[in-house]
Structure 1
Amino acid sequence: MTADDSTLRLLSTSDIAGIEISLPDVVDVVEHAYRALAEGRSANPRKLTVKPENGHSVSYAMLGRDGVRNVVAIKTSYKHGLDKGREEQHYYTTLTLYDDITGLPVAMMDCGRVGSLRTPAVSALLARELAAPGSRSALVIGTGTQGRLALPFLLTTLPDLDRLMVYGTHPDGLAAVRERLHHYFPDRELEVVDDVRAAAAGADVVVATAGGHTPAAVEASDLKPGALSILVGHGIAPSTLHRADRVVATSEAQMKVTGTDMADADGDFPPVDAEFPDVVVGRAKGRQSAEERIFAYNSGLVVTDIALGHRFAQLAVEQGLGTRVSLWR
């Protein structure tokens, strides 16, 4: 996608923001990334993590290869101010793509929008595969970046949902959740709940996307038989994992790296019954009965970032977006 091996296309936040892509297209790209990984055509090594002793920041590095697109990429992620409120935190994430056929760079981009779309798309796929038959109600905990698109994506894969609930503590975030829902599904109503544990008792699907300072802590005893709880950030207690009838993770290894707050007193996790890429291709079972409570851990796999990032890069090239930089001259 670049003219020679000395130029790199930089795609800024505003470049990516101007690219139109539908929710079904995002879900399709992400699903095919999982299929390629399960079929052994892609590689997704375990992420590297660095965190200071006082926990005020965290950084990740993720390398992967998409064997369908023949693209190699590395994603970096850095968040500062974890000991502070949301408004005082800083977060930067980038994705750099290389064409593994030509050996040339494709693009380096702000990965914020890619992640904001990829993660709720994964939750929606988890819900499609793991929610109990006839599920009609969903609760989203948190109104940040991941919470704002959670319901539109859930409706993309579970269109029969008719009770849509959200719990949050930030008025602006609640307004943003409502705006995003009505943008994609103008005829759907949103129910803002004050008692998150009571709301969870009536939800078939619970998606926890809140930040670390959330007061929400839904317990396993709050969940109805057959409920699916999906952990993206915070908002559900460790009991939802340790007392689940079945545990599914996008990656068991990554759950043990990024989900340490869900470990028991000895730092241990229950065994994962299935990894989600295997569920997608039918190699492993998702739900085994309508009554079992399932815990699903949604940790980002870089192959999904690569697939969606590469799609954005293709669209950016078609639209003439980005800035060429002679990085290697």
Structure 2
Amino acid sequence: MTDTSITAPADPPISGDDQHLRILSTTDLAGMDISLADVVATVEGAYRTLHAGRSDNPRKLTVKPPDGHSVSYAMLGRDGSRDVVAIKTSYKHGLDKGRAEQHYYTSLTLYDDRTGLPVALMDCSRIGSLRTPAVSALLARECAAPGARSALVIGTGTQGRLALPFLLTTLPDLDRLMLSGTHPEGIAAVREQLRDHFPDRDVELVDDLRAAATDADVLVATAGSHTPAAVEADWLKPGALSVLVGHGLAPSTLHRADRVIATSEAQMHITGLDMADADGELPAVDAEFPPVLAGSAAGRRSDTERIFAYNSGLVVTDIALGHRFAQLALAQGLGTEVPLWR
């Protein structure tokens, strides 16, 4: 496989003081320019550092009420290449309602483990919207069949809108880009993001999901929980790679896969239970992604294997990308310092 890895920029130490905390709002982060290649390199570096044993990424904690109307996560981690400790929290309310009625909040707090001082507290929504499709693109780079030329994205929400630009960043030879979605504003946003990053490319909106899935070398399922889309295993052609981010793949794509890759097997057993079989079981994972990325485990063993990849977020990637944004914010004088500990 051709080495298409990108070197991430070095992150110098950035700390606040023991009385103030720099707050980076949604608006602060939205105004920062960062290239797709920069994001991919930063995320890839975080995975490699984790595999080398220099970072810590414990299992996430989950709280969910009995009726399932909300879900909360807390993730603690340490990035060993940056010496940064961070806590990420996520809270989604209204899972029993439509997208417009849901509320979602996520934040990331960073501390410099060399100085012992805080770095920043930031809205983590943009970080997640970049980190997740970057991971899918890295999974595609490592696990797609050689010569993959077609990609299908299912869903037009936050995670679907940058899926194709990131895929083109790691697999520039893709020549057929397909989209399955039902929300007009989401479809328009997918096209806008693709034009922003690749002005000469366009996406084909598909109505027949089965036919599109049969033709796709790479499938990325990012749809919300209410989607009717559910690609079945027998729709997939030999060599297809299916990446699950949200919803859009039926459990058969996991249980009948020739090979299963997960960013984290432990997290898959927390957040992937909707893919369990009739007995509530998930199949064993053949390899986790950090060793695949590092070259110590195989992502793909043959051109005809149908591979299922589970993309669940690892907090070390949030830390790395959050620290990169904090670095850019400091250089641009963005954010508000709050005398939190005074």
TM tier, shorter chain?
Answer: over 0.9
**In the alignment, what sits opposite 1:268?**
281
Aligned positions of 1:45-56 closer than 5 A: 45-56=58-69
In structure 1, distance between residues paired with 2:69 and 2:329: 35
Mapped contact 1:2–1:9 kept (Cα < 8 A): no
Q: TM-score, normalised by structure 1?
A: 0.99
- Following superposition, which runs of at least 4 residues in structure 1 exceed 4 angstroms of deviation? none
The structural deviation recorded for 1:4 is 2.1
Provide, for residues 6-44 of structure 1, a one-character-per-residue CA deviation record: whole Å limited to 9, x for no partner: 100000000000111000000000000000000000000
1:60 alignment counterpart: 73
Any residues of structure 2 matched to 1:136-155 within 5 Å, and which?
Answer: 136-155=149-168
1:256 aligns with 2:241: no
Give the TM-score taking structure 2 as reference length: 0.95
CA contact (8 A) 1:27 1:122 kept: yes
> Does 1:97 pair with 2:141?
no
Structure 1 CA distance for aligned equivalents of residues 154 and 241 of structure 2: 14
- Taking the aligned partners of 2:118 and 2:289, their CA distance within structure 1 comes to 30
CA contact (8 A) 2:168 2:174 kept: yes
Q: Secondary structure at the match of 1:266?
A: coil
Q: Which amino acid aligns with 1:167?
A: S
Deviations 1:108-149 (A, max 9, x none): 000000000000000000000000000000000000000000
Alignment partner, residue 291 of structure 1: 304
| Partner Cα separation in structure 2 for residue 253 and residue 195 of structure 1 | 35
Could you tell me which amino acid in structure 2 is paired with residue 325 of structure 1? V
Relative to structure 2, which stretch is displaced further, 62-71 or 187-196? 187-196
> Offset of 1:59 from its aligned partner?
0.6
Q: RMSD between aligned alpha carbons? A: 0.6
Q: What is the percentage of aligned positions where both structures have the same residue?
A: 79
Q: Counterparts of 1:7 and 1:46 in 2: how far apart (Å)?
A: 30
Aligned pair count reads 329
Distance 2:238 2:97 in 1: 37
| 2:195 aligned partner | 182
Secondary structure at 2:174 match in 1: coil
- What residue in structure 1 maps to residue 84 of structure 2? 71
- Unpaired stretches in structure 1, ≥5 consecutive residues: none
Q: Aligned with 1:198: secondary structure?
A: helix
Between 285-294 and 190-199, report the one with greater CA deviation.
190-199
- For the structure 1 residues 3 and 293, does the alpha-carbon distance in structure 2 shift closer, same or farther, using more than 3 Å as the test? closer
State the Cα deviation string for residues 173-220 of structure 1 (Å, max 9, x = none).
001001100110011121000111211000000000000000100000
| Contact 2:254-2:308 at 8 Å conserved across structures | yes
Deviations 1:81-107 (A, max 9, x none): 111111111000000000001000000
Asked whether the equivalents of residues 133 and 166 of structure 2 are also in contact (C-alpha less than 8 Å), the reply is: yes
Paired residue for 1:44? 57
Distance 1:15 1:157 in 2: 28
**Distance of 1:306 and 1:245 partners within structure 2:** 33
SS of 2:111 mapped into structure 1: strand
Q: Partner amino acid for 1:215?
A: P
Give the deviation of 1:267 after TM superposition. Answer: 1.4
Contact 1:2 1:8 in 2 (8 A): no
- Confirm or deny that 1:21 pairs with 2:53: no
Partner of residue 335, structure 2: 322
> What is the aligned counterpart of 2:140 among 106, 127, 141?
127
